[in-house]
Amino acid sequence: MLGEDHSLVSEFPQFKDTIFDLSASNEVFAKDAIKYDSLDKEIRELELSGSPIDDIAMHDLKHQRAELKDSLHQRLINCR
């Protein structure tokens, strides 16, 4: 669905407290979480405005978001 929220907390609500804790205590995690949420916001805005970029560029943004999401998820799992 276009414009759907894929923010980190929306994607992993079960890790909400861990996300906040790691964001406060782990600089690398915090930077990656901010980058992920920024990418998600950029993609959402582009989708809602009719994607004024080409398909390859949109695919690249979504691929970057997916890779970052996987990396962040792995770190969240390892913190449990």
- Residue 17 phi/psi, 5-degree rounding, is -65, -40
The pLDDT of residue 5: 87
Q: Distance between CA 50 and CA 28 in Å, rounded?
A: 33
This prediction has a pTM of: 0.89
1-43 pLDDT, tens digit each: 567 889 999 999 999 999 999 999 999 999 999 999 999 999 9
